[in-house]
Amino acid sequence: MMNHSLFIFITLQLLLIITFPYNTSGQSPASSPAAPVAMSAPAPSPSSPPTDIIRILKKAGGFTTLIRLLQTTQVSTQINSQLLNSNGGITLFAPNDNAFQGLKPGFLNSLNDQQKNELIQFHMLPSFVSVSNFDTLSNPVRTQAGADPDRLALNVTSTGNQVNMTTGIVNATVGGTVYTDRQLAVYQVDKVLLPRDFFEAKPPAPAPAPLKARGSKKKSAEGPADGAADDDKSSAVMIMNNGVWGVVVSIIAVLAFAL
């Protein structure tokens, strides 16, 4: 009977120890002050990647030729850098592959590197323009190709949601928005925008300034020569005349002596 009671007592003690363990100070956790709970700092939100015009066009699809031109001319790097360092934004008119197929065969290959760069810059405005703000632009619209109002003119007209453009060579229409983020706007156009600069003969370079006339020096150089010739002629005539008179005098003297 005693062994059975001892067994029950030990079992109860073990249950108490397991249920309410004591810390090193002999106090139960319920009587000890609560340990401070460490608060983990919230994870920083991932920053958005910088704008990449090539990634945008690849995601949209159908701009293989434009992507190749942007890369070979390095204008894609210029666009990405300009977006990082400028607050004005950029508007890009993006001809799709069907638009480039509408060009005369071999046209792109006939352009040199400078002309290819100018062609791409002609499709860019140095500011962000939303579809609803095209009617606020003043024609001719300045592109990043230059400010020549004749050879690089781009005129834009907007009626409702329809936007048309003309360069004097090509009439194009905006087909839709490819991308916009309030800093970069990319609009699909159904034609490649060709500037008149590629088709009109450029004015000839100004002729070099004429050299100073050397006629006065020639005259002064030739003057003494002509005078010397005249003097020589006069001397010859005088010698000839003197010779004739000498002969005449000699003949008269001989006749007088003979008489």
| Secondary structure class of 95 (helix, strand, coil) | strand
pLDDT of 30 reads 47
Quote the DSSP letter at residue 154: B
Give the global pTM.
Answer: 0.62
> Which tens digits make up the pLDDT trace of 54-93?
999 999 999 999 999 999 999 999 999 999 988 889 999 9
pLDDT number for residue 204: 60
Do 61 and 28 meet the contact criterion of CB atoms below 8 Å apart? no
CA dist 173 and 168 (Å) reads 14
Distances (CA, A) of 175 to 33, 187, 221: 71, 7, 77
Domain topology for 53-188: FAS1 domain (2.30.180)
How far apart are the C-alpha atoms of 133 and 119, rounded to whole Å? Answer: 24
Domains of the chain, residue spans: 53-188
Q: Determine the pLDDT at residue 256.
A: 52
Q: Which two tokens stand for residue 107?
A: 């046209």
pLDDT digit string, tens, across residues 5-48: 655 666 666 665 665 554 544 454 444 454 444 444 444 445 56
- Residue 233: pLDDT above 80? no
Amino acid 50: pLDDT = 80
Higher pLDDT, 211 or 237: 211
Q: Which residue has the tokens 């007592």?
A: 9
Cβ-based neighbour number of residue 75 at 10 Å: 22
Residue 119 has pLDDT above 70, yes or no: yes
Residue 124's contacts (CB-CB under 8 Å, 6 or more residues apart) are 75, 79, 90, 91, 92, 93, 143, 144, 145
Nearest to 194 by CA among 218, 175, 170, 174: 170
pLDDT (average), residues 86-110: 95
Alpha-carbon gap, residue 250 to 155, rounded angstroms: 106
Spatial strand order of the sheet with 90-95 comes to: 124-125, 90-95, 184-189, 171-180, 162-166, 155-159
- Confidence tier at 239 by pLDDT (50, 70, 90): very low
pLDDT in tens, 178-228: 999 989 999 999 999 999 988 876 656 566 666 665 554 444 444 444 554
